[in-house]
Chain A
Amino acid sequence: MRHILSLLLENEAGALSRVSGLFSARGYNIESLTVAPTEDPTLSRMTIVTRGSDEIIEQITKQLNKLVDVVKVFDLNEGKHIERELMLVKVRAEGKDREEIKRTADIFRGRIVDVTERTYIIELTGPRDKLDAFLEAIDSTHILETVRTGASGIGRGEWILRV
Chain B
Amino acid sequence: MRLSGAEITIQCLQEEGVEYVFGYPGGAVLYIYDALFNQDKVKHILVRHEQAAVHAADGYARANGRPGVALVTSGPGVTNAVTGIATAYMDSIPLVIISGQVPVPAIGLDAFQEVDTVGITRPCVKHNFLVKNVADLASTIKKAFYLAASGRPGPVLVDIPKDVSQQIAEFEYPKTLSLRSYNPVTKGHSGQIRKAVQMLMEARRPMIYVGGGAVLGEASDALTHMVRQLGYPCTNTLMGLGAYPGTDPQFLGMLGMHGTYEANLAMQHSDVLLAVGARFDDRVIGNPQHFFTEERRIIHIDIDPSSISKRVRVDVPIVGNISDVLEEMQKLIDASTVQADPVALKAWWTQIGEWRARDCLRYDRANQTVIKPQSVVEKLYEVTRGEAIVTSDVGQHQMWAAQYYKFDKPRRWINSGGLGTMGFGLPAAMGAQLAYPEATVACVTGEASIQMCIQELSTCKQYHLPVKIINLNNRYLGMVRQWQQILHGNRYSESYMDALPDFVKLAESYGHVGMRIDRPADVEPALREAFALKDRVVFMDFQTDQTENVFPMVKAGQGLTEMLLGAEDL
Contacts and interface: CB of A to CB of B under 8 A. Distances in A.
Interface of A: 9-10, 13-14, 17-18, 21, 25, 55, 58-59, 62-63, 65-66, 68-71, 163
Given A14-B118, A17-B122, A21-B122, A163 B310 contact: no
Contacts of A65: 305-306
Nearest to B304: A66
B180 A163 contact: yes
A13 B132 CA distance: 11
A44 to B, nearest CB: 12
Contact of B181 (A13, A63, A69): A69
Contacts of B127: 68
A66 B122 CA distance: 14
Nearest to A64: B306
Contacts of B126: 68
Contacts of A71: 180-181
Can you list the 8 inter-chain pairs with the closest CB atoms, starting with the nearest? A62-B306, A71-B181, A68-B127, A62-B305, A68-B182, A25-B123, A63-B306, A66-B306
Nearest to B306: A62
A10 B181 contact: yes
Contacts of B306: 59, 62-63, 65-66
Q: Is the interface of A mostly helix, strand, loop or mixed?
A: helix
B309 A55 contact: yes
Contacts of A63: 306
B38 to A, nearest CB: 32
Interface of B: 118-119, 122-123, 126-127, 130, 147, 179-182, 304-306, 309-310, 313
Contacts of A9: 181
A55 B288 CA distance: 14
Contact of A68 (B118, B181, B310): B181
A68 B306 CA distance: 14
6 contacts: A10-B181, A13-B130, A65-B305, A65-B306, A68-B127, A68-B179
A71 B306 CA distance: 16
A59 B310 contact: yes
Nearest to A12: B129
Contacts of B313: 55
Contacts of A17: 119, 122
A70 B373 CA distance: 49
B130 A21 contact: no
Nearest to B129: A14
A114 B104 CA distance: 43
B105 to A, nearest CB: 16
B123 A21 contact: yes
Contacts of B181: 9-10, 68-71
A63 B308 CA distance: 11
Given A58-B309, A62-B305, A68 B130 contact: no
A157 B181 CA distance: 25
A59 B306 CA distance: 6
Nearest to A10: B181
A69 B122 CA distance: 13
Contacts of A10: 181
Contacts of A25: 123
Contacts of B122: 14, 17-18, 21
Given A14-B130, A21-B123, 15 more contacts: A10-B181, A17-B119, A18-B122, A25-B123, A55-B309, A62-B306, A65-B305, A66-B304, A66-B305, A68-B127, A68-B147, A68-B181, A70-B181, A71-B180, A163-B180
A72 to B, nearest CB: 8
